[in-house]
């Protein structure tokens, strides 16, 4: 055998067809990662931001008309009864800002909530300042739900959720790598889910303590963050176990696709949802990073309001992960039993 033949034989032995497919999958994930993050974050523009207007009726309707006519439709304005109602709607996360118009003066008041994302608050201030200037008026800005001074750009909620998500799919991946991607039987599947639940409880508490008492990055209840962290970690971990149960080791790549590539840039972390392109704005709330980030900010800055929908999303991921993981194990056991040779009588 020539040296070239030996080299080709060694290459074929080292790079099996399965390995080749996995490498191709990694390259695909790499390109999707670049496309998703750059696509979502390279050119943030506000689109249909829920926005309130408080003023006497005629002035309010005129202001709403002007805001609706802004190029690119950055705002979705609606008349609000009074300032107290506007503040409450912002705390309920029904609107992201409000303009309080005082016809008797030349200065109006802009209400923002930087706890929901500093970038969105500054964007609203920029747009309204330009609009008011064109009307020979000025504005003063009041922050209804200010981000903590230890929470730069309001990003701590997002990064905490990202950490919990990473813990979820890494823990599930370790369980797969150590004992086989697909659980051998339903009992093994239950054991994996139980280990995943215990790891989620511990990781949720650890994350809550780090962002709260240790770093002081976020205000809010440690218990509430503990519950959120455990739910986020388990929902991602259970979903990863389910994908592994169906697709084997490739399920880890699919989990990364859902959580990291699709979920993180659409979560509303770096740029809140109204600043994202339509595709990412649409999928973000339905994925664990987006749902978790929404709840974390609500706990920290919005009195825990408007969390039901996002918590249901996380619970649905967790429930689906449990059911699919168990079903995949049951079906696998059934197939293995069917493949066994018949026993002699």
Question: Are residue 98 and residue 224 in the same domain, yes or no?
Answer: no
Local structure of residue 113 (DSSP, 8 states): -
Better pLDDT: 95 or 175 = 95
181 and 321 fall within a common domain:
yes
Same-domain pairing of 162 and 274: yes
User: Quick one: pLDDT at residue 179?
Assistant: 66
Shared domain check, 305 and 198: yes
Tell me: do 192 and 54 sit in the same domain. no
Q: Indicate if 136 and 223 belong to the same structural domain.
A: no
Tell whether 285 is covered by a domain.
yes
Predicted local confidence at residue 14, as pLDDT: 66
Same domain, 109 and 196: no
Q: What is the pLDDT of residue 298?
A: 97
Arithmetic mean of pLDDT, 200-211? 97
**Confidence band for 345, pLDDT divided at 50, 70 and 90:** very low
For the stretch 30-78, pLDDT in tens is 999 999 999 999 999 999 999 999 999 888 999 999 999 989 999 999 9
| Residue where a domain stops, chosen among 143, 169, 197 | 143
What pLDDT is stored for residue 26 in this prediction? 86
Which range has the top average pLDDT, 118-122, 327-331, 338-342?
A: 118-122
Q: Quick one: 228 and 319 in the same domain? A: yes
Q: Does pLDDT of 9 surpass 90?
A: no
Specify whether 184 is located in the same domain as 326: yes
Given this model, what pLDDT does residue 11 score? Answer: 64
The residue out of 143, 162, 193 marking a domain boundary is 143
How far CA 100 is from CA of 54, 57, 108, 126, 140, in Å, comes to 5, 12, 6, 16, 10
Kindly state the tokens that stand for 317: 């991921």
Based on the fold, state whether residues 207 and 76 are members of the same structural domain: no
pLDDT of residue 216: 95
For the chain, how many structural domains are there in total?
2
Domain range holding 87? 49-143
More confident residue, 332 or 143: 143
pLDDT of 335: 55
pLDDT for 344: 47
Q: What is the mean pLDDT of the chain?
A: 90
What is the rounded CA–CA span in Å between residue 271 and residue 275?
6
pLDDT computed for residue 184 by the predictor: 61
How do residues 287-316 score in pLDDT, each as one tens digit? 999 999 999 999 999 999 999 999 999 999
- Decide if 2 is inside a domain: no
Does the pLDDT at position 97 exceed 80? yes
pLDDT of residue 264: 96
Burial of 154 (C-beta count, 10 Å sphere; 0-12/13-18/19+): buried
Domain final residue pick, 143, 167, 199: 143
Nearest to 49 by CA among 110, 121, 155: 121
Q: In sequence order, what are the beta bridge partners of 142?
A: 111
Percent of the chain with pLDDT over 90: 72
pLDDT category, 185, cuts 50, 70, 90? confident
The verdict on residue 343 lying in a domain is no
């Amino acid at each position: 055998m020539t040296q070239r033949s030996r080299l080709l034989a060694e290459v074929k032995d080292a790079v099996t067809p399965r390995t080749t497919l996995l490498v191709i999958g990694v390259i695909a994930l790499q390109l999707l990662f670049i496309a998703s993050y750059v696509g979502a974050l390279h050119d943030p523009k506000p689109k249909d931001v829920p926005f309130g207007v408080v003023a006497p009726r005629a002035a309010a309707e005129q202001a709403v008309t002007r805001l609706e006519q802004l190029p690119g439709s950055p705002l979705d304005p609606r008349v609000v009864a009074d300032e107290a109602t506007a503040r409450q709607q912002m705390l309920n996360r029904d609107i992201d800002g409000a303009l309080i118009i005082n016809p008797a003066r030349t200065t109006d008041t802009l209400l923002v909530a930087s706890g929901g994302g500093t970038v969105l608050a500054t964007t609203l201030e920029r747009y309204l300042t330009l609009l008011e200037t064109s009307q020979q008026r000025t504005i003063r800005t009041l922050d209804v739900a200010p981000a903590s001074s230890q929470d730069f750009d309001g990003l701590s909620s997002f990064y905490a959720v990202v950490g919990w998500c990473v813990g979820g799919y890494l823990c599930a991946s370790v369980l797969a790598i150590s004992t086989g991607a697909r659980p051998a039987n339903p009992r093994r599947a239950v054991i994996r889910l139980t280990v995943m639940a215990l790891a989620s409880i511990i990781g949720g508490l650890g994350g809550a303590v780090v962002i709260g008492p240790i770093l002081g990055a976020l205000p809010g209840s440690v218990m509430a963050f503990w519950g959120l962290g455990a739910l986020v970690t388990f929902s991602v971990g259970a979903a990863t176990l389910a994908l592994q149960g169906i697709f084997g080791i490739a399920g880890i790549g699919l989990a990364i696709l859902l959580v990291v590539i699709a979920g993180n840039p659409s979560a509303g972390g770096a740029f809140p949802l109204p600043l994202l392109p339509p595709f990412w704005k649409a999928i973000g709330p339905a994925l664990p990073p987006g749902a978790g980030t929404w709840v974390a900010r609500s706990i920290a800055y919005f009195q825990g309001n408007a969390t039901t929908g996002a918590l249901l999303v996380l619970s649905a991921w967790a429930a689906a992960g449990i059911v699919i993981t168990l079903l995949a194990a049951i079906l696998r056991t059934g197939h293995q039993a069917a493949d066994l040779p018949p026993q002699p009588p």
